[in-house]
């Protein structure tokens, strides 16, 4: 997951088709044709509707573009954001980028060898690609 400091998060995406989706909007109603990035907003850290939106975009709609977390994004939300399908997180202004990188690195179990599926990799490691022979 890419982390961006709040001061750098307002940069425009030149040449990209970006949708800023309110956390009250239904992602299933979106026309994703040509969309490169979707910004999902956390108006406050305790409002987790953007987690559900990211999950729906990845799993149900198969969106392959960038999903960016904006708003009240805290360091301790990053691991769950990554598992929900976010690619990028723009940290709240008072969150330290170096600490965020260390915290995210502390949860490597969601990658190769993981025990649970998530929005990005739905199959846990113990499920083989081919059926077991009898």
What are the pLDDT digits (tens) for 10-59?
A: 556 677 899 999 989 999 999 999 999 999 999 998 999 999 999 999 99
Residue 102 resides in a domain? yes
Count how many domains the chain has.
1
Residue 96 resides in a domain? yes
Query: Which CATH number do you get for residue 45?
Result: 3.20.20.70
- pLDDT recorded at residue 131: 55
Q: Is the pLDDT of residue 66 over 50?
A: yes
Residue 133 resides in a domain? no
d(CA 62, CA 38): 13
pLDDT in tens, 71-117: 999 999 998 999 899 999 999 999 999 999 998 888 765 544 455 55
pTM (whole model) above 0.85: no
Residue 131 resides in a domain? no
Residues in CB range of 83: below 8 A, 6 or more apart:
110, 118, 119, 120
3 state DSSP class of 82: helix
The DSSP secondary-structure symbol of 58 reads: I
| Residue 46 burial (C-beta neighbours within 10 Å; 0-12, 13-18, 19+) | exposed
What is the span of the domain harbouring residue 91?
A: 2-9+17-110
């Amino acid at each position: 997951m890419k982390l961006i400091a709040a001061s750098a998060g307002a940069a425009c995406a030149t040449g990209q088709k970006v949708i800023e989706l309110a956390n009250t909007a239904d992602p299933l109603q979106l026309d994703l044709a040509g969309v490169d990035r979707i910004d999902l907003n956390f108006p406050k850290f305790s409002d987790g509707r953007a987690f559900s939106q990211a999950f729906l975009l990845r799993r149900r709609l198969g969106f392959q573009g960038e999903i960016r977390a904006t708003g009240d994004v805290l360091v301790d939300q990053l691991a769950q954001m990554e598992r929900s399908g976010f690619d990028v997180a723009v940290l709240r202004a008072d969150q330290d980028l170096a600490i965020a990188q260390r915290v995210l690195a502390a949860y490597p179990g969601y990658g190769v060898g993981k025990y649970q599926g998530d929005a990005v990799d739905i199959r846990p490691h113990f499920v083989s690609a081919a059926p077991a022979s009898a």
